[in-house]
Amino acid sequence: MRIESKLPNVGTTIFTVMSGLANQVGAINLSQGFPNYQPSYRLQQLVTEHMAKGANQYSPMPGILPLRERIAEKIRLMYEVSVDPETEITITAGGTQAIFCAIAAFVRPGDEVILLEPCYDSYRPSVETVGGVAVPYPLSAPDYQVDWNEVKKRITPRTRMLCINTPQNPTGTILREADMLKIQEILRGTDVILMSDEVYEHLIYDGEPHASALRYPELYARTLAIYSFGKTYHNTGWKTGYCVAPPELTREFRKIHQFNVFSANHPMQAAFADFMADPAEYLGLPEFYQQKRDFFLQAMSATRFKPLPCAGTYFQLFDYSAISDEQDLAFCKRLTTEYGVAAIPVSSFYSDLKDEKVIRLCFAKTEDLLAQAGERLSKV
C-alpha cells in the first residue's frame, strides 16, 4: 500500500526532541514551555468538586455557558468590549486545537496564509494539512520588528488569512496599537481573515497594555482571537482554551470544532467558571512573571549569553554568537548533554531554518531551578 504523506517534511517536533534529550541526561528542561510548579490548589479542588457533582460527560459543543459568560465579563473588564457568550465564544481543547480549527474553517486548497516567522510551530502544518500555502515573512534578531508595508506586499488575490501572535512565541515581542491600526489598514477592503493568537495576553511586562484585536471594531469583524487557560493558570496539561470571533465567523469555526473534538473537558470548564469569579487570579500575572523574567536575567548575568528584549510571554531569547559559531540545534544539544540545560533553537521556528545564533529558554520555573540553570550556563 502506497502512503503519500500530507506533511512530508514534518517529523518529531523540536519540543519533543529536546525534552526527550533533557530527560535522558537529567538536564534542567528550559526548552518546552510549561511551568514546573502546580496550579492553584483551590482550582484543583474545584475540578474534583465538579467531578463529584457529575460534570463527567460531554459538555455542550460550544462550552458550558457559565464559563463563556465569565470570559465575556473578563473581556469587558480588560478591553471594554462587549461580546455575546452565546454566539461569539467557543471553548476549545487548548489553544492549538483552536488554531487548527480557525485555519481549517476558512483556508481551502491553494489559499495563501501569511505567517510572521519565527512563529509557533503548529501554524504551517495546520495550513498545509488543509491544502493551504504558507507565505512566510521572516523577521530578524534582535528586535524582530514587523515592516507592515512588506507584509502588505505579500497580500495577493489568493491570500485568505494573516496569522499574528502577541505576545509572540518565541521572540517575546509584542504588537502595539500602531501595529494593530496598520494591520487594520492593510486588510481594509480585502477578504483576508485575521487569526490573532493571544494565548499570552496576561504575560506582558513593564506596564505595557495588551493590544488585543478585540479592541478594534473594524479589525475584530474579520478576527478569530485565540486564548489559553493553560498559559494563564499554570496547567498546560489540562488543554483548555477558547476562541472569540464575530457570530458569522464563529458559526464556521464551530462547524469544524464540533467534528474535530466536539467539546472540551467538562470538569475543567466548570472549575474555570468558578475560579474566574476573582479577576485578581489573572490580573496579577504580569507582575508574577515579570519577577521571574528579571530573576532569570540576573541569574544569567554572569554568563556570556546576550539577552534579547523580552516584553511578553515566559520565554527569554539569548544570542550565543560570542560563544560559538555552531549551528543552533547542535549548540542546544551540546548545552543539554555537556552543561545540563535544555534550550530550543530559534531556527526551528522558521520555514527555512534561518539560524541567527539565538536560543529560547523558558523562565516559567521555580527560582531555585532558574538559579541553578544560570550557574550551569555560566560555565559555557
Q: Report the phi/psi class of residue 84: left, alpha or beta, with left for phi > 0 and alpha for psi in -120 to 50.
A: beta
pLDDT at 79: 96
Burial of 198 by CB count in 10 Å (0-12 exposed, 13-18 middle, 19+ buried)?
A: buried
The residue type at 198: E
Helix intervals (H) in the chain: 14-25, 41-53, 65-79, 95-106, 123-129, 148-153, 177-187, 217-220, 229-233, 247-260, 266-275, 280-283, 285-299, 328-334, 367-377
CATH code linked to domain 14-32+284-377: 3.90.1150.10
pLDDT at 10: 82
| Fold of the CATH domain 41-278 | Aspartate Aminotransferase; domain 2 (3.40.640)
Distance CA 360, CA 173 (A): 13
- Write out the residue limits of the CATH 3.90.1150.10 domain(s) in the chain: 14-32+284-377
pLDDT, averaged per 10 consecutive residues of the chain (380 residues), comes to 89 89 96 93 97 97 98 97 98 98 98 97 96 97 97 98 98 98 97 98 96 97 97 94 98 98 97 96 94 98 98 98 97 97 97 97 97 98
C-alpha cell at 50: 465538579
Which pTM was predicted? 0.96
How far from the centroid of its chain's Cα atoms is residue 80's Cα? 23
pLDDT at 164: 98
pLDDT digits (tens, 9 = 90+) for 113-157: 999 999 999 999 999 999 999 999 999 999 999 999 999 999 999
- Write out the residue limits of the CATH 3.40.640.10 domain(s) in the chain: 41-278
pLDDT digits (tens, 9 = 90+) for 238-279: 999 999 999 999 999 999 999 999 999 999 999 999 999 999
Q: Are 144 and 116 in contact (CB under 8 A)?
A: no
pLDDT at 13: 87
C-alpha cell at 105: 474553517
pLDDT at 278: 93
Distance CA 85, CA 335 (A): 47
Q: Are 299 and 377 in contact (CB under 8 A)?
A: no
pLDDT at 11: 79
pLDDT digits (tens, 9 = 90+) for 217-227: 999 999 999 99
Distance CA 334, CA 159 (A): 41
C-alpha cell at 24: 535522558
